[in-house]
Amino acid sequence: MHIATTEEEVQEFVKTCKSREQKVGFVPTMGALHSGHLSLIDMARSHSDVVVCSIFVNPTQFNEKADLDNYPRTIDADIIKLEEVECDLLFIPEVDGVYLEDHNPKRIDYKGLDKVMEGAMRPGHFDGVVEVVARLFEIVEPELAYFGEKDFQQLAIIRLMVEQLDCEVEIIGCPIVREANGLAMSSRNERLNREQRQQASILHATLQAMKDLVDFLNPDEVEVWGRAKLEELDYCELEYLEVAESRTLQPIFRWKECEAARAFVVARFGDVRLIDNLELYNSTSS
């Protein structure tokens, strides 16, 4: 595996690949890699000729400095994991290597996607996401880019960004990878103690139970039921639980009025903020 630390090194590598008519797949990450990230590399490997991964803890998408400071950094272990899954190039830039002195952040019309859930709880967060992903696409110039569905709202916004900025890249959403107890894999899980890690499985268990109620209750009733289940727990601090249409992320009132709907949840276990989602309804499979 090649390791690059500058834009010039990445572009030289990619230029060589494209001269050989090799399709470049890209997996942007913030490091602290786990099986979920590695599943994205595997997906890229199966659909691309060359796989590029980046590790960059992007400061512009953090609302809380403590969250940025505490974000796990495990670069040596990450390199070993990427070598094991046969990643071709790892890009590890410094902040000033991504945001140059004359950097002009990209902005898009979110069409309301930034007004709900994560956008409402973390003002400006998606500006940082758009800024860094657009910049990384400029550097890597991939044909394909892979993102996990755990951050489903982020995925929707990146797809919108690609459309509005005319980025010549196809966005591939990849299924959530879960631990044995159902907990969605996340770099933040490393900050949970053993008891919290087990307790946090309640998020997926609640979402799954909500899905089982779709045939009996309307969306707002399912949402209220799920919220009540989590709010009664003393070890779980619920930030939000919402049922929304999968494309617009707007609330729905009847299942039949949309093609697909998901439940989205964020809660804290101690000082660790966890996110999860699950498709509850799909008209093509109902």
Q: What pLDDT shows up at residue 286?
A: 56
Task: Give tens-digit pLDDT for 166-224.
Answer: 999 999 999 999 999 999 999 899 899 999 999 999 999 999 999 999 999 999 999 99
C-alpha dihedral over 203, 204, 207, 209, to 10 degrees? -110
**125 flagged as catalytic:** no
**DSSP letter assigned to residue 185:** P
Give Cα 61 distance to the centre of its chain: 12
Q: How far apart are the first and last CA of the chain?
A: 45
| Catalytic site residue from 2, 34, 37, 103 | 37
Q: What pLDDT shows up at residue 104?
A: 87
Mean pLDDT of 248-273: 96
Mean pLDDT of 72-82: 95
User: Which residue is listed with tokens 């919220």?
Assistant: 227
Task: Give tens-digit pLDDT for 44-62.
Answer: 999 999 999 999 999 889 8
Q: Which CATH number fits domain 2-174: 2.60.40.420, 3.40.50.720, 3.40.50.10740, 3.40.50.620?
A: 3.40.50.620
The stretches of the chain forming alpha helices (DSSP H) are: 7-19, 35-47, 65-70, 75-84, 95-98, 118-121, 125-140, 152-165, 194-199, 202-211, 219-231
Q: What is the SS3 assignment for 266?
A: strand
> 67: closest CA among 190, 188, 236?
188
Q: Where are the domains of the chain?
A: 2-174, 187-278
- What does the angle CA 228 – CA 234 – CA 237 come to, to the nearest 5 degrees? 70
Q: Does residue 33 contact residue 78 with C-beta atoms inside 8 Å?
A: yes
Distance CA 231, CA 220 (A): 16
pLDDT band at 101 (very low <50, low <70, confident <90, very high): confident
Q: What pLDDT shows up at residue 70?
A: 79
Please give the CATH topology (third level) of the domain spanning 187-278. Answer: Pantoate--beta-alanine Ligase; Chain: A,domain 2 (3.30.1300)
Secondary-structure breakdown of the chain: helix, strand, coil percentages, each rounded to the nearest 5: 45, 20, 35
User: Which residue is listed with tokens 């400071």?
Assistant: 69
Indicate the average pLDDT of the chain: 95
Q: What pLDDT shows up at residue 95?
A: 92
Distance CA 130, CA 157 (A): 8
